[in-house]
Amino acid sequence: MNKKEIWLVVVTAGRWQRHGIKEARAAGLKVLAIDADPNAEGFTDADHVLNIELNNIEAVIEILHSLGKNIRGAVSFSSEAGMNLAAEIREEFNLPGPRTMLCQRLLDKAIQRSIWSEKGVPGPKWEVFRDPNAALKAISTFGFPLIIKPTDSSGSRGVTKIESAEDDISDAIARAFQFARSGQIILEWYMAGTEFTVEIFAANGVTHVLAVSEKKKVEGTRGTVANELATPNRPKAVVALIADAVVAAFRALGYTEGPGHAEVILGNDGNVGLVEVAGRGGGFMVFDGFVPAVSGMNIARLTALQAVGLPVGEISNIGKSAVLRFFPSFPGVLLEISGFEEANQIEGVEAAPFVKEGGHFHRAMVDGDRLGYILSCAETPIRAKELADKAEKMINLRFKDIK
C-alpha cells in the first residue's frame, strides 16, 4: 500500500458524476469509481474502476479490502443510486461522512416526513402505504389535488399529481409502487404555490446556502417535470425565508457535513413547505454548473476533499444570478441539432445537447427526459434571463413526427 496516495471511492460513474471525479483528481486524489454500467462515462477519468452491481455490497467491500489501497473516503456526488453503497463503505472503513442510518433519512421521504412532523418543520398532510388498495381507499380523506409518489425515488420517477376523482388514480398508485424500492408510497396534500430548489454545503457544523432557484415546469406533466431553474427575482426576505426552512430541515435530520439538494414550495399564502431533501448535489448541471456559477464555489472539489477528511477552507458565496434551462424531449425522431456552437459564443452562456441526431424520443415524463441545456450567468436575474432567451433563439432541435 502506498500510504502517500489518498484514494476516494466514487459510487456511480455516469455523466453527472464525471465532473466530481475530474475535480477529485485535480485536487490530487486517486479515484476508484464503481458502476454497474461497463460503459459509464466517468470510468475514463478514474484511476481504478470496479464494474459491479451496486446492491452487491458484500462483494464490493471484499474487493475494496483486497485491493490494499489507502481508501480515505467514499462519496456519491450527485447520484441518488450511489448513496447507500457509499454509506456502507464509510461504515466498513470508518470514513468521514454520513453512515447508513443517516443515509436512510436522506433517501426515504417517509422517514423525512416523520422527523419533520415531530420537529415542527413545515410540510403537507401525508400518509405512507404498503398496500395499493389501502392507498386507494385513503384518497377520499385527502381531497384534491394531491401528490402520489414513491418514498425513495428521484428525478420525478413515479410521481403523479392527481387533480380530481376523474383521474386514473389506480394507475398513478401502480406507477408509484413500480419505482418504490422500499415497497412504500406516500400520499401528500398538494401544496399550492411555486416550487424552489435550494443547494447547500455543510461543513464544520455550519450549513451554507450556495444557491436558490425558482422552478418552471413542462406543460402537460402536471407540475412534475422541470424545464428551468432560475435565480429568483424576488425580495431578499422571501429568499431568506425559503433558505432558512431548508437549513432547519437538514438540521432536523442531523445532516451537518456534505452537499445537499432540497425542494420546497413557497405557498400562495406566503408560507414555506418542504417537499424533500437529499444528501447529495442536484443532478443535470445543478451540482457541476448552476451552483458554481452563482456561488463561485467549486462544490465538487469541496465535496471530494471533505469526503477524505481534508480541510475545505472558507465557504463563501459571490451571489451571482443564473438560469439553467432544459429542452424537454418531444415525441419523434430527432433529425437536426444546430445552434449550440453559436449560443456558446455569447458571453456568460454555455449550452450543449445531451443527445444525438437520429435518436427516437417520447413526451417528457420525468426529469431525465431532456435533450440539452442552456446555462446563463450574470449579475442580475433579469440579465441572466435575457442571455438564456437570446441563446434559446439560436438553437434548433428539429423533429420528425412518428405516426
Q: What is the pLDDT of residue 43?
A: 98
Domain 320-403: state its class. Answer: alpha beta
- Identical fold, 100-115+191-318 and 320-403: yes
Percent of the chain predicted with pLDDT > 70? 97
Say which residue the cell 469541496 belongs to.
Answer: 302
Predicted local distance difference test score (pLDDT) of residue 385: 98
Tens of pLDDT, residues 160-188: 989 998 899 999 999 999 999 889 999 99
Given a contact cutoff of 8 angstroms between Cβ atoms, the answer to whether 185 and 128 are in contact is yes
Q: With contact defined as beta carbons under 8 Å apart, do 181 and 107 qualify?
A: no
Coil/strand/helix, residue 341: helix
Q: Is the pLDDT of residue 309 over 90?
A: yes
Task: Please give the mean pLDDT across all residues of the chain.
Answer: 93
| The pLDDT of residue 333 | 92
Is the pLDDT assigned to residue 52 strictly greater than 90?
A: yes
Helices (H) and strands (E) in the chain, counts: 12, 19
Asked whether the predicted pLDDT for residue 67 surpasses 90, the reply is yes
Segment 323-357, tens digit of pLDDT: 999 999 888 899 999 999 999 999 999 999 999 99
Residue 403 has pLDDT above 80, yes or no: no
Domain chopping of the chain, boundaries: 7-95, 100-115+191-318, 124-189, 320-403
Task: Summarize pLDDT for 106-127 with one digit per residue, the tens.
Answer: 999 899 999 999 999 999 989 9
CATH fold of 124-189 = Dna Ligase; domain 1 (3.30.1490)
pLDDT at 136 > cutoff 80: yes
- Read off the pLDDT band of 3 (50, 70, 90): low
pTM for the model stands at 0.91
pLDDT at residue 402 tops 70: no
Instruction: Tell me the C-alpha to C-alpha distance, in Å, between residue 266 and each of 160, 201, 241, 301.
Output: 20, 22, 9, 31
Predicted pLDDT of residue 225? 73
Q: What are the start-end ranges of the E strands in 306-369? A: 321-328, 332-338, 349-353, 360-361
3-state secondary structure of 11: strand
**Residues above pLDDT 90, as percent of the chain:** 83
Reference 308, options 106, 45, 89; nearest CA is 89
Q: CA quadruple 63, 69, 74, 75: dihedral positive or negative? A: negative
Q: Which backbone phi and psi does 201 adopt, to 5 degrees? A: -135, 120
Q: CATH topology for 7-95?
A: Rossmann fold (3.40.50)
Mean pLDDT value across residues 204-233:
86
Q: Which fold has domain 100-115+191-318?
A: D-amino Acid Aminotransferase; Chain A, domain 1 (3.30.470)
Q: Where are the alpha helices (DSSP H) in 94-235?
A: 100-107, 109-119, 132-142, 169-178
Check pLDDT > 60 for residue 199: yes
Look up cell 467491500; give the residue. Answer: 61
